[in-house]
Amino acid sequence: MFERSKLVPELMVTHLDNSLDFWVSCLGLEMAYQRPEDGFSYLDLNGAQVMREQADPEAGQWLTAFLTRPFGRDINLQIDVAAVGPIIHKLDQVGFPLFRECKDTWYRANNVEVGQREFIVQGSRWLSRKVGRAFGRAPGLFILNSG
């Protein structure tokens, strides 16, 4: 059963259909619900959620400032997935380049290191998405042996 997350970004887009092609067809999110008459879609992937809304100056949308393209500058979203390989393959099939190639990365979280396999893809509107699969935790500082 679908359950809404406690924090969900709502991102404005120029063309909702193009956005959905990327988010649904390439990244694998599912349509939780939509309001086509409002140009709105709510997407979900195992609890990773995002709302997409087509910008319409006549619709009285809640905008805090004038929209200037590209939308989404300085926003980075991380999406945890079961496996990155199928997503990278799909992006390659449709000719969508990775901004940063897939690699294993470790991040310190207090006194443990958390590892994940990740890549970064930028949308046509410069919104960065880091897609990753968590693969482990290690106590203290950890050096990943690439050999």
The pLDDT of residue 106 is: 87
Question: Percentage of the chain with pLDDT > 70?
Answer: 77
Q: Parallel, antiparallel, or unpaired for β 48-54 and 76-80?
A: unpaired
The pLDDT of residue 71 is: 67
Predicted confidence band of residue 2 (pLDDT cuts 50, 70, 90): confident
Predicted confidence band of residue 72 (pLDDT cuts 50, 70, 90): low
Cβ–Cβ under 8 Å, residues 20 and 3: no
Residue 57 has pLDDT above 80, yes or no: no
Cβ–Cβ under 8 Å, residues 116 and 131: no
CA pair distance 99, 121, nearest whole angstrom: 5
Q: b/e per residue, 66-94, with b = 16+ CB within 10 A?
A: eeeeebbeeeeeebebeebeebbeebeee
Q: Sketch out the chain's domains with CATH numbers.
A: 10-139 (3.10.180.10)
